Amino acid sequence: MPGLILLVLLAFPLLASAQLRIEIVDGVEGAMPIAVVPFAWDSDLPEPATGVAEIISANLARSGLFEPMAEAQMIEQPVRPPEVRFGTWRLLRVDHLVIGRVVDSPDGIGQEIEYHLLDVHSGRILLSQALSVSPGDLRFGAHRVSDAVYESLIGVPGAFATRMAYVVVSDIGGDDELFELVVADADGFNPQTVVRNTQPILSPAWSPDGRRLAYVSFATGRSNVIVQDLFTGQTEIVSSSRGINGAPAFSPDGQRLAVSLSQGGSPDVWLIDLSNGRRQQLTHHWSINTEPAWSPDGERIYFTSDRAGRPQVHVMDADGGNLQRVTFDGRYNAGVSIGLEERFLAVVHSEGDNDFRIAIFDRENERMRVLSDGRLDESPSFAPNGSMLLYAARENGRGVLAAVSADGRIRQRLVASEGDVREPAWSPMIR
């Protein structure tokens, strides 16, 4: 690998970080009543303090589309479908029921979550599955069950078994700050610091397999694009050219990284082949060309350019050809994140110079819909199922994360106990 420096950290130390607490700001009217009955624990391993059912309930509640019943109201706690007396649950005005148990895996490694989703009104079993989970992976198993329940009842895949990356900045005395790149489960649990530095870290981007993160680090005093393996901790400086090295985005096949480099005098979008370091310049313009984002099929790249005077979203083929302007609505549209099927583009949108909000541009009817109401909102990142957007906002002088559903009806705040939280990036589906 010519030109690539390889730094291997032995025994990659993932440090626990402060956890984000997710609060629901707005839900939908008529959220679906559901009961997730505590799962039986038929395992030799010690039972965790937070049960599988509790995690599933919290996930469904957080989505804003469900209204899970409190455990105290469950006058019966069936484990298997034959034990369910539907009349009881109809009286309790519940539409659906999730029951199950945790057992040791038949092969002796890890556990299995057996679960059933039942329609209380028809008495039918909608889902009946056994999901094997690796040792220590029970929380993630509960997220997968949540995904299956969500998909069965809502019709689109859930995005609970995903993670998020974000940057936490804390004051460490004097004028010094500590920048930490953190990865946590989508429900805020299990936060781990991937890298920390007193110089800025920004723009985390996930590889399509969820194994690696690309980001921009100023650790050397200048911007570098880094790719880090989350499992081994192996770190590679992918770009450290003169000028800006920024805005990394993995191609959908994971083979290439789109970046913004200013080695030619002004920022242009380039491709870097991760197997051999070979580079290809895609834009050639004196303006700022940055924030590349791939179409899901890898055929096109969306990006921000102010070649027309102010920053606007443009699109080009992945070889740089066929360049077109996409957004015309408002003075400022930047930081694009691509939703499902490339129809919906989330952007940082401004009509003037003082209010920067998250908007979704619908390419089909060419409409821009403002979804957030802050003054300094930025960094929109779609969930892999396109249902929600994570973004960064400022609240009482602090950086916070927020989430909003693509239709604007459901809102969440992700609150950290301390520090400035910014630069969220929602992971792809983790298999």
Partner 1 sequence: MKTALRFAALVLLAALLAACARDVREEPPAPEPPPPPPPPVEVERLDARDFSDPRNLDNPDSLLSQRTIYFEFDRSNVRAQFRPIIDAHATYIQANPSARVILEGHTDERGSREYNLGLGERRGNSVQELLVAAGVSARQIEVVSFGEERPVCRESNEDCWQRNRRTEIVYTAR
Footprint on this chain of partner 1 (rule: CB under 8 A)? 200, 202-203, 218, 221-223, 242-244, 246-247, 260, 262, 265-267, 288, 290-291, 304, 306, 310-311, 332, 334-335, 348, 350, 353-354, 356, 375-376, 378-379, 394, 397, 423
Helix (H) or strand (E) holding 153: helix 138-154
The Cα–Cα gap between 126 and 118 comes to 5
| Residue (234 or 266) nearer to partner 1, CB | 266
Q: Which is nearer to partner 1, 82 or 397 (CB)?
A: 397
Give the residue with the Cβ less far from partner 1, 189 or 218. 218
- Choose between 117 and 247: whose C-beta lies nearer to partner 1: 247
- For residue 198, the minimal CB distance to partner 1 (Å) is 11
SS3 content of the chain, % helix, strand, coil (to 5): 10, 45, 45
Distances (CA, A) of 295 to 162, 282, 302, 309, 339: 20, 15, 7, 25, 9
Q: Which two tokens stand for residue 328?
A: 């015309």
| Integer Cα distance of 350 and 135 in angstroms | 48
CB of 151 to partner 1, least distance (A): 33
Closest approach, Cβ 414 to partner 1, in A, equals: 18
Q: Does residue 215 contact residue 204 with C-beta atoms inside 8 Å?
A: yes
CB of 82 to partner 1, least distance (A): 56
Q: Which is nearer to partner 1, 35 or 247 (CB)?
A: 247
Q: List all residues 6 or more positions away from 374 whose beta carbon is below 8 Å from its beta carbon.
A: 356, 357, 393, 394, 395, 402
Smallest separation (angstroms) from partner 1 to the CB of 367 = 21
Q: Of 78 and 424, which CB lies nearer to partner 1 in the complex structure?
A: 424
Query: Are 142 and 113 within 8 A, CB to CB?
Result: yes
> Which residues does residue 217 pair with via DSSP β-bridges, in sequence order?
201, 224
Residue closer to partner 1, measured from CB, 173 or 265: 265
Question: Within 10 Å of residue 9's Cβ, how many Cβ atoms?
Answer: 13
Closest distance of CB 202 from partner 1, Å: 5
Return the DSSP state at 207: -
Minimum Å distance from CB 99 to partner 1?
46
